Amino acid sequence: MLDHIGVNTGDLPRSKVFFLQALAPLQIGLVMEVSAEQTGAHDHVGFGKHGKPFFWLGNAAPLSQGVHVAFVCGERAQVDAFHAAALAAGGRDNGAPGLRPWYHPDYYAAFVIDPDGNNIEAVCHLPG
């Protein structure tokens, strides 16, 4: 089990705004911001739930590109809402909401490319 994951962005303020909008339908929000002065290295923002960050963005080098991160959803409507919100926030479509039965019969997901070129997914494993 993973505790958290971090990706590096070429423009932290832009990515922060993108993920604030894209993850809102999943009830994932900004829960922590850490400055370079605090870490002695780089600025970071942490997204999560209930005060616990599990998805971090940082302005460190090298830039993360081509990373695939999937966020679990409790219902298919959240997948649809994520996809719409991420596109409205400037993401590029990389797979419209729908079933991916080659993974398993109830695998319902959508994919969007974030501003840095990462493949961001929302997935629901529950029956429709």
Q: What is the pLDDT of residues 19-30, one digit of tens each?
A: 999 999 999 999
43 or 41: which leads in pLDDT: 43
Question: How much is the pLDDT for 128?
Answer: 85
Both tokens assigned to 44: 């970071």
Instruction: Say if CB 75 and CB 126 are below 8 A apart.
Output: yes
Give pLDDT tens digits for 48-96: 999 999 999 999 888 899 999 999 999 999 999 999 999 999 999 999 9
Task: Decide if pLDDT at 47 tops 90.
Answer: yes
Top-level CATH class of 5-59+66-124? alpha beta
Sort 51 into a burial class: Cβ within 10 Å, 0-12 / 13-18 / 19+. exposed
Residue 9 binned pLDDT confidence (cut-offs 50, 70, 90): very high
Q: Token pair of 79, please?
A: 């997948």
Q: How far apart (Å, rounded) are the C-alpha atoms in residues 27 and 48? A: 8
